């Protein structure tokens, strides 16, 4: 036992570069293990789904012969572990298989659907941050007063009322009655085929094409769905910010700052808020991650061709390649976000680091 | 301090308002021009546009507008077949050989003329590629080994078809009027051929037909665009472009129609249609479809094997109540397997809700206190409404219903494995000949678990050697009137006693902008046509 401890100490006290390499290798292994585990579990669930993937491929009226041929072609007659190994083998070569529902390779499907979700999620998160953090700070500063209660009611509404209801009601008032926002979809029919999909992010692609009207139109279309999802995020973020801030405001260094004569704004924004940055970043990352897996109901209401709709449809149709591909994509996004959060936390909150 | 935070709020509010004001300019939307038709529909089912592979409604209706077929129906009268690409045809005396003359003057979108070689190519590739709908043509006895001899172009505008059996001519012509028999431009397809696939990979996302429109673009789950063919000279086209927008939520479709951003909304529910019918800017159009809903009573379950029980169930459905109060025009009572409007249809509606009569029948069958029954149903409309109504009416006669709701594909999987007791099923004919429907319900050549013919009769474990023979005989009846009489006879037998309780027939309801004229929806999943539409 002691020798193990010695070895651990030896590694920790090695020169920085080597420690960095070891950490990088450890991280890589963790990521690999997580992704393979994720793929294995999803694969197992998929193979035990009560829906027959062959029917999804050939339809209900197909002849028995075609059914058998397709079943063999899909490799469904082999034992499940062998099927999984075959899948892993293709995965290593970058082949995620073909989607039953779109007839396209899953990689090209993901390349077009993930950017749509990414764009919507990022816009929603930015709105959520811009509204949620200040509201949380103000609520904490005015704890118990009317402002605090109002903010809490607003945020309660935000995460209680179903997002798709907000979406439909928003469309009825802002789109049909007032004409303030355009209808569903990412961009107007007039521009849709005029823009070359270089990144899949429509805001970026329209700028790359130099088409300013198309850019404005795309931003215009993004406004309502992002605002609704952003409201939901803001509700969650403001709650947590408020809780962290109330806790922080009771610490001694805040009293010290006040006694020293600093303004309230300065106390709130330059002292208290940075001190809760660590846990707050975690909350924001979680909010971002849940947005990234695709808000299927919002995407349905706004006809937004994103990952949520893709994976949900694939699941109902036992389109296993698409489900696996989508799940791995979301899993990878989670892992990346996790890593980014850890790095940010170390920078923002040095107290968390090893001595 | 109070001032500071409220100032911040004010600044935040001002910033947001400015952003919103900058972006939210009313009237920035481009309204659709008069030569462009915008259709809101759920186009999720498209996987391919190759006629040898298409078997889904949306792709089917798109290729119906891009390709011509050998035979077709006069719009409005779907009981009479007319020649389309086939100008005239003759049948040999023994019924085994058909000679078709190709109409002269037809041109593909590429400018190539439509010739007999294209017809032969189109039919052969269906068999050779062997995709899902190939079974429609293999019925004619064509296999990958013999199709190149059975289907030949004997000269520039004559096609010869050799069949394995002397089928009824109306059956053969009907089969050749289905989407799988679309005429494909051979030269164009082979120009894009890869690895001897007869142009399959390219035709999945492009069209090469002689129809009024051609496929320009398709983004899965987003949109599909068709444009008018310059070479089309069989009629004047008012539209230059058709855009299908994928709008999965029907409420959103209704909103867009109200706003005028789309011209046709295809997936509205009966309630939404009702609420829109008061709007003077919107027209509602209905079209009778040949789709039916029915109950399948698995003969593996003991109580359902008694004829009196099966009859009792026919008297336990509130057909009129559901049609009037729940479906409001979307589904109407129909009680035979062939939808009305087609050749061979029978419009008798003898059954209605009669709980007392059902109770008598159940008692006579030995179930005076009813029995337990599981009903499998897809968890979407209209199945859920029917399921709930049936549960309440069955209970009145003592049948204790347990509803098992699941996703549609899950239900299919269970029924294919004969694992259900009762199921609410949906039937849409693959082609408009009565054989397609009657075979599904009245033919079960092998009731064992190894059967390769998994018709609905098989799925409900119904062993019917006589009806199977009658179905096979009707397929070969060459006298048209006799043939029709045979199908009516089979349907009467199915209606009187079978594991199938036919419930409703569909009326498709589409809502369009007031100015849209000339829309043809037709009775089948691939009959919508836009060549006469104007705005």
Domain at B495, CATH number: 3.10.105.10
Decide: B211 and B68 in contact? Cβ < 8 Å.
yes
The mean per-residue pLDDT over the stretch A318-326 comes to 89
Question: Looking at A92, A114, A147, which one is the last position of a domain?
Answer: A92
* Residue A97 belongs to a domain: no
Quickly state the pLDDT bin for B218 (edges 50, 70, 90).
Answer: very high
Number of domains in chain A: 2
Nearest by CB to residue A101, choosing from B4, B47, B408, is B47
Residue B455: pLDDT band with limits 50, 70, 90: very high
- Across the interface, do A183 and B256 touch by the CB < 8 Å criterion? yes
Would you say residue B514 lies in a domain?
no
Q: Average pLDDT in the B346-351 region?
A: 92
Residue range A174-194: mean pLDDT, rounded = 88
Question: A12 pLDDT band (50/70/90 cuts)?
Answer: low
What's chain B's average pLDDT?
Answer: 90
Note whether A177 and A321 are same-domain residues. yes
What residues form DSSP beta bridges with B113? B107
Contacts of B384-387 with C-beta under 8 Å, sequence gap 24+, read: B385/B322, B385/B326, B385/B327, B386/B293, B386/B322, B386/B424, B386/B503, B387/B424
- Closest CA of chain B from A26, distance in Å: 40
The pLDDT value recorded for residue B14 is 47
At A65 the pLDDT is 82
On whether both A137 and A280 belong to a single domain, the answer is yes
Is B384 a member of any domain?
yes
Within a domain: residue A71? yes
* C-alpha separations of A31 from A27, A107, B44 in Å: 6, 20, 34
Residue A309 sits at the chain B interface (C-beta within 8 Å) = yes
A37 and A79 part of one domain: yes
- Chain B residues 32-51 with a CB less than 8 Å from chain A: 32, 38, 44, 47-48
CATH number at residue A188: 1.10.3720.10
**According to the model, what pLDDT value does residue B18 have?**
44
Select, from the ranges A58-72, B140-154, B228-242, the one with the highest average predicted confidence (pLDDT).
B140-154
Strand arrangement, sheet containing B97-102:
B86-91, B97-102, B158-162, B151-155
A269: nearest CA in chain B? Answer: B5
Q: What is the mean pLDDT of residues B281-308?
A: 95
Q: Do B29 and A55 touch (CB under 8 A)?
A: no
CA distance A144 to A150: 10
- In sequence order, the 6+-apart residues with CB closer than 8 A to the CB of B327 are B270, B382, B385, B504
Phi, psi of B527 (to 5 degrees): -95, -15
Pair (A59, A116) in one structural domain: no
* B24, B420, B437, best to mutate vs chain A, most A CBs in 10 Å: B24
In a domain, A291, yes or no: yes
Structure confidence at residue A353 as a pLDDT band (50, 70, 90): low
A178 touches chain B (CB under 8 A): yes
pLDDT value, residue B191: 95
Nearest residue of A to residue B40, measured between CA atoms? A303
Query: In this model, does residue B20 exceed pLDDT 60?
Result: no
User: Which H or E run includes B162?
Assistant: strand B158-162
Q: Are A126 and A203 in the same domain?
A: yes
Tell me what the mean pLDDT of segment A225-237 comes to: 94
The pLDDT score that the predictor gives to residue A200 is: 87
- The CA–CA distances, whole Å, from B134 to A26, A44, B141, B172, B415 equal 54, 33, 12, 15, 23
Is the pLDDT at A300 greater than 60? The verdict is: yes
Instruction: Name the token pair of B300.
Output: 């593996």
Instruction: Mention every residue, 6+ apart, whose C-beta is less than 8 A from residue B450.
Output: none
The answer to whether the beta carbons of residues B329 and B507 sit under 8 Å apart is yes
Mean pLDDT of A7-32: 78
- Same domain, residue pair A181 and A120: yes
What residues make up the domain containing A186? 106-352
Q: At what angle do helices A106-141 and A307-316 cross, to 10 degrees?
A: 120
The answer as to whether A99 is a domain residue is: no
Residue B279 lies in a domain: no
- Is B190 among the domain residues? no
Domain membership of residue A339 (yes or no) is: yes
Report pLDDT for B278: 86
Report how far residue B448's alpha carbon sits from residue B453's, in angstroms, rounded to the nearest whole number.
10
- Which of A45, A63, A92 is where one domain is finished? A92
Q: How far apart are CA A136 and CA A280, in angstroms?
A: 11
B3 pLDDT above the threshold of 80: no
Instruction: Tell me the mean pLDDT in the region B60-85.
Output: 90
Residue contact B409–A318, C-beta within 8 A: yes
Residue A309 to residue B24, Cβ atoms within 8 A? no
Of A92, A114, A134, the domain-final residue: A92
Whether this model's pTM surpasses 0.80:
yes
Q: What domain range is B455 assigned to?
A: 289-507
> Distance, in angstroms, between B469 CA and closest chain A CA?
20
Q: What is the rounded average pLDDT of the residues B361-373?
A: 94
Mutate to test the interface with A, among B132, B133, B405 (most CBs of A within 10 A): B132
pLDDT of res. B488: 95
Residue B197 contacts A, CB cutoff 8 Å:
no
ipTM, two decimals, is 0.83
Residue A8 pLDDT grade (very low, low, confident, very high; cuts 50, 70, 90): confident
Min mean pLDDT across A54-63, A65-74, B387-396 is at: A54-63
User: B259 and A175: CB-CB below 8 Å?
Assistant: yes
**A27 domain residue, yes or no:** yes
Distance from CA of A18 to the nearest CA of B (A): 48
Mutate to test the interface with B, among A49, A51, A166 (most CBs of B within 10 A): A51
pLDDT on residue A74: 85
The pLDDT of residue B164 is above 60: yes
- Please give, rounded to a whole number of angstroms, the shortest distance from the CA of B534 to a CA of chain A: 19
Same domain, A212 and A316: yes
Mean pLDDT of A169-180: 92
Q: Is the pLDDT of residue B9 over 60?
A: no
Question: Is residue A335 a part of any domain in this protein?
Answer: yes
Q: Which of the listed ranges A349-353, B33-37, B183-187 does the model predict with the highest average pLDDT?
A: B183-187
pLDDT at B165 > cutoff 70: yes
Q: Is residue B301 pLDDT above 80, yes or no?
A: yes
Asked whether the beta carbons of residue A134 and residue B44 sit closer than 8 angstroms, the reply is no
Nearest CA in chain B to A213: B28
Tell me the shortest Cα–Cα distance from B320 to chain A, in angstroms.
30
Is the minimum CB–CB distance between B407 and chain A shorter than 8 Å?
Answer: yes
Q: Which of A263-272, B247-256, B376-385 has the lowest mean pLDDT?
A: A263-272
pLDDT exceeds 50 at position B523 = yes
Q: Is B232 left (phi over 0), alpha (psi -120 to 50) or beta?
A: beta
Q: Number of structural domains, chain B? A: 1
Cα B259 to Cα B31: distance, rounded to the nearest angstrom = 10
Which of the four pLDDT bands, split at 50, 70 and 90, describes residue A2? Answer: low
Given a cut of 50, is residue B24 above it in pLDDT?
no
Verify that A128 and A223 share a domain, yes or no: yes
Contact A188 B30 (CB under 8 A): yes
pLDDT band at A92 (very low <50, low <70, confident <90, very high): confident
Q: What pLDDT, on a 0 to 100 scale, did the predictor assign at position A9?
A: 66
Q: Which of B4, B29, B225 sits opposite A188 (nearest CB)?
A: B29
Same domain, A64 and A171: no
Report CB contact under 8 Å: A52, B413. Answer: yes
Instruction: Give residue B5's pLDDT band: very low, low, confident or very high (50, 70, 90).
Output: very low
- Please state, in angstroms and rounded to a whole number, the distance separating the CA atoms of residues B74 and B361: 46
Average pLDDT, chain A: 87
**Judgement on whether residues A56 and A130 belong to the same structural domain of the protein:** no
A29 pLDDT higher than 50: yes
Q: Which of B5, B135, B407 sits opposite A63 (nearest CB)?
A: B135
Average pLDDT over residues B212-223: 92
The answer on A119 and A79 residing in a single domain is no
- Between A and B, how many residue pairs show a Cβ–Cβ distance under 8 A? 163
**How many Cα neighbours within 13 Å face the side chain of A267?**
25
Q: CB-CB: which of B221, B261, B406 is closest to A309?
A: B221
- Cα–Cα distances in angstroms (integers) from residue B355 to residues B123, B217, B312, B397, in the given order: 53, 55, 8, 6
- Are A87 and A142 in a shared domain? no
| Per-residue pLDDT, B10 | 52
| Among A56, A103, A187, the residue to mutate for chain B (most B Cβ within 10 A) | A103
Looking at per-residue confidence, does B484 or A197 come out higher? B484
Residue A125 lies in a domain: yes
Please report which residue ranges of B155-237 form alpha helices under DSSP H. 169-175, 186-191, 200-203
Query: Could you report the per-residue pLDDT of B106-159, keeping only the tens digit for each?
Result: 999 999 999 999 999 999 999 999 998 999 999 999 999 999 999 999 999 999
Q: Which pLDDT score is estimated for B13? A: 46
Tokens 């397929």 correspond to: B475
């Amino acid at each position: 036992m002691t020798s193990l401890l010695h070895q651990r100490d030896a590694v920790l006290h090695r020169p920085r570069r080597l420690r960095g390499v070891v950490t990088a290798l450890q991280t890589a292994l963790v990521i690999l293990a997580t992704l393979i585990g994720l793929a294995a579990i999803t694969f197992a669930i998929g193979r035990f789904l009560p829906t027959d993937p062959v029917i999804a491929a050939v339809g209900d009226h197909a002849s028995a012969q075609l059914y058998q041929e397709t079943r063999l072609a899909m490799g469904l007659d082999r034992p499940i572990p062998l099927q999984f190994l075959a899948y892993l083998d293709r995965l290593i070569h970058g082949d995620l298989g073909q989607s039953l529902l779109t007839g396209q390779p899953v990689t090209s499907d993901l390349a077009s659907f993930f950017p749509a979700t990414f764009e919507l999620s990022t816009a929603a998160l930015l709105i959520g941050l811009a509204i949620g953090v200040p509201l949380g700070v103000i609520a904490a500063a005015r704890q118990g007063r009317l402002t605090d209660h109002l903010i809490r009611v607003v945020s309660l509404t935000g995460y209680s009322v179903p997002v798709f209801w907000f979406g439909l009601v928003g469309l009825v008032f802002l789109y049909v009655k007032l004409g303030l926002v355009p209808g569903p979809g990412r961009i107007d029919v007039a521009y849709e085929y005029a823009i070359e999909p270089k990144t899949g992010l429509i805001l970026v692609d329209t700028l790359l094409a130099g088409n300013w009207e198309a850019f404005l139109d795309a931003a215009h279309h993004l406004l309502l769905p992002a605002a609704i999802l952003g409201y939901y995020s803001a509700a969650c973020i403001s709650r947590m910010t408020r809780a962290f801030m109330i806790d922080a405001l009771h610490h001694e260094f805040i009293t010290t700052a006040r006694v020293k004569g600093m303004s309230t704004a300065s106390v709130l924004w330059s002292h208290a808020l940075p001190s809760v940055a660590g846990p707050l970043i975690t909350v924001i990352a979680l909010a971002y991650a849940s947005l990234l897996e695709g808000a299927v109901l919002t995407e349905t209401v706004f006809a937004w061709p994103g990952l949520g709709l893709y994976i949900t449809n694939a699941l109902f149709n036992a389109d296993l390649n698409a489900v696996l591909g989508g799940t791995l994509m979301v899993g990878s996004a989670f892992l990346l976000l996790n890593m980014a959060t850890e790095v940010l936390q170390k920078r923002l909150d040095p107290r968390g680091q090893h001595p | 301090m109070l001032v500071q935070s409220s100032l911040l709020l004010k600044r935040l509010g001002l910033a947001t308002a400015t952003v919103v004001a900058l972006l939210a300019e009313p009237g920035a939307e481009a309204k659709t021009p008069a030569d462009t038709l915008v259709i809101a529909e759920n186009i999720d089912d498209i996987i391919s546009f190759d006629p040898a592979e298409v078997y889904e409604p949306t792709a089917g209706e798109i290729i119906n507008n891009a390709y011509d077929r050998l035979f077709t129906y006069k719009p409005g009268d779907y009981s009479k077949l007319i020649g389309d690409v086939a100008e005239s045809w003759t049948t040999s005396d023994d019924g085994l050989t058909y000679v078709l003359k190709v109409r002269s003057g037809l041109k593909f979108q590429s400018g190539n003329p439509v010739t007999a070689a294209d017809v032969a190519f189109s039919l052969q590739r269906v068999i050779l590629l062997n995709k899902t709908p190939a079974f429609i043509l293999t019925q004619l006895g064509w296999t990958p080994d013999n199709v190149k001899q059975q289907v030949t172009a004997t000269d520039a505008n004559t096609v010869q078809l050799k069949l394995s059996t002397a089928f009824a001519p109306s059956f053969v012509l009907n089969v050749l009027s289905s989407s799988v028999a679309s005429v494909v431009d051979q030269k164009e397809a082979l120009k894009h051929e890869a690895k001897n696939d007869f142009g399959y990979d390219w035709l999945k996302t492009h069209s090469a037909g002689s129809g009024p429109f051609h496929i320009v673009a398709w983004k899965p789950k987003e949109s599909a665009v068709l444009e008018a063919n310059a070479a089309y000279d069989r009629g004047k086209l008012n539209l230059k472009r058709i855009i299908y927008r994928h709008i999965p939520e029907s409420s959103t479709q209704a909103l867009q129609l109200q706003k005028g951003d789309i011209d046709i909304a295809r997936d509205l529910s009966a309630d939404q249609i009702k609420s829109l019918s008061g709007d003077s800017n919107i027209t509602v159009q209905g079209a009778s479809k040949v789709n039916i809903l029915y109950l399948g009573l698995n003969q593996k379950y003991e109580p359902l094997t008694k004829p009196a029980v099966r009859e009792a169930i026919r008297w336990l459905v509130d057909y009129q109540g559901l049609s009037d109060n729940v479906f409001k025009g979307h589904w109407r009572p129909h009680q035979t397997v062939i939808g009305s409007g087609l050749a061979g249809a029978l419009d008798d509606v003898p059954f209605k809700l009669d709980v007392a009569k059902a109770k008598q029948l159940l008692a006579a069958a030995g179930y005076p206190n009813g029995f337990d029954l599981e009903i499998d149903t897809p968890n979407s409309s209209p199945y859920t409404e029917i399921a709930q109504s049936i549960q309440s009416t069955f209970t009145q006669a003592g049948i204790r219903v347990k509803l098992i709701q699941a996703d549609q594909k899950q239900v299919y999987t269970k029924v294919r494995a004969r694992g259900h007791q009762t199921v609410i099923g949906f039937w849409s004919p693959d082609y408009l000949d009565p054989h397609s429907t009657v075979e599904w319900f009245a033919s079960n050549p092998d009731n064992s678990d190894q059967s390769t013919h998994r018709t609905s009769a098989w799925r409900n474990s119904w062993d019917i050697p006589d009806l199977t023979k009658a179905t096979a005989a009707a397929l070969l009846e060459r006298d048209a009137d006799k043939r029709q009489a045979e199908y009516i006879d089979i349907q009467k037998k199915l209606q009187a006693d079978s594991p199938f309780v036919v419930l409703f027939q569909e009326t498709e309801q589409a809502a369009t902008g007031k100015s849209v004229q000339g829309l043809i929806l037709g009775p089948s999943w691939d009959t919508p046509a836009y060549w006469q539409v104007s705005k």
